[in-house]
A and B are shown apart, each in its own frame.
Chain A
Amino acid sequence: MIALTTPLKTKDILSLNAGDNVMLSGTIFTARDKAHLFLLAEDFPAVQNGIIYHAGPIIKNREVISAGPTTSARLNPYTPKLIEKYGIKAIIGKGGMNQSVVDALRGKAVYFSAVGGLGVIYAKAMKFKNVYKEEFGMPEAIWEFEVKDFPVIVAIDSKGKRLYDETLEKSKKEFLRLV
């Protein structure tokens, strides 16, 4: 288990390998489809060199109720530009991302996988800090959280290794055999 605290340093990022278990502490920002468009269209320095969490949490009176990850693949089209513009150091999501993101991460950032459906467990590791663009609606606003020992797995490292590739290859072989 590797413990990391924000702001993440490039040397820490470069030392991570796909498959490593990491406990994250510090500040993270949620962003989904609408937030990505906003972040690309306007300047939002708060996320500079930061961590983006693909998630749409349930929040009630600033209490984090349930807050697992959303499917990252939807954000493939915006992510390389987002990494470039803000020097994003890490992305947390689920299900993996495509080759354009793998290339954009190379030498500078990582993609962490969180487990889909651990809403309550993750919520307990998160504290409300701030909210921006609340007019986007609860799932799509940009929520800033302070996290403590937030458990993730390195699913795409900064050297281009993607944890999902092995599964994809194996399942493709089996699929072709079965059909």
Chain B
Amino acid sequence: MNLKEKIIELIRKTADELPADVIAGMEKAEREEDNPVAKEILGKLLLNVKEAKGEKKPMCQDTGTPFFYVRYPREYAQKELTAIINQAIDEATEKIPLRPNAVDCLSGKNIGNKAVIHFEETDSADAKLEIDLLLKGGGSENVSIIYSLPNTELKAGRDLEGVRKCILDAVFKAQGKACPPYIIGVALGGNYESVAGASKKQLLRKLDDKNPVTELDELERKVLKEINELGIGPMGLGGKTTALGVKIFAGTRHPASYFVGISISCWGLRRQSLTIKN
């Protein structure tokens, strides 16, 4: 397989197969859920995951916007990689098939699919090309949000207590609109533009990993527990499973600013990776 074919296979796998850690999170939630409607919904979702993989079909009709995170050694050039990824997306849209999800804002015309690609050049000795792909649907993008602290409505100040309130507020406002149970990526600091991207990137972390920063690890656990006390439940029909995970990153900020970026993913967090060794 050449690189383009490997990327098409990565796209297929991402659309059709839920990652093992997310399946494990869903299975645990189904076991522990005691609301009968919620338990039944979680069971059906897991059945759909199994059928999608078995029949090689996208588990959700919204195959989302493709977000690529590419780490490349200097032997590669961004321009060529961009061309290969775009070609792979066009072919995958026909082959897999993906739903064409790129609509021109002015003409309203659907032009197929358009990838968002982030590049990072690596300088490691064992030079390899690594590509993470996230397929994220529109419904969960629509409830993602950026807060600027302090926030008087929430009485949220510029500290982790303020951040906790923002996360709870975002989930409370989303209710069942974006297919809970959610996975929530959070980023602090930065600026208006970077904080959104950094929060989305937190969705690439495994659900069962541990944040190396103790304060953030504690906040992740605490706020996850609290979100599940909201009782929104799968699809907003009640239950104790409203979120499967919260992942938080803290960067630097301008002295005047304290942004909190919150990227909400639906239960179907579709992400897979590809590594090519030289």
Contact = CB atoms under 8 A, between A and B. Distances in A.
B177 A71 contact: yes
Interface stretch (B43-51, B78-86, B116-124, B206-214): B43-51
Contact of B110 (A120, A121, A139): A139
A50 interface: no
Contacts of A23: none
A33 B61 CA distance: 17
A170 B231 CA distance: 7
B176 A164 contact: yes
B255 interface: no
Interface string B59-80: 1111100000000000000000
Given A66-B59, A119-B60, A167 B100 contact: no
Given A116-B235, A140-B110, A175-B230, A167 B175 contact: yes
A2 interface: no
Given A119-B48, A121-B51, A167-B238, A95 B59 contact: no
Interface residues of A, number: 45
B29 interface: no
Interface residues of B, number: 52
A163 B236 CA distance: 9
B248 interface: no
Contact of B100 (A66, A119, A138, A155): A138
Interface string B139-177: 100100000000000111000000001001100100111
B126 interface: no
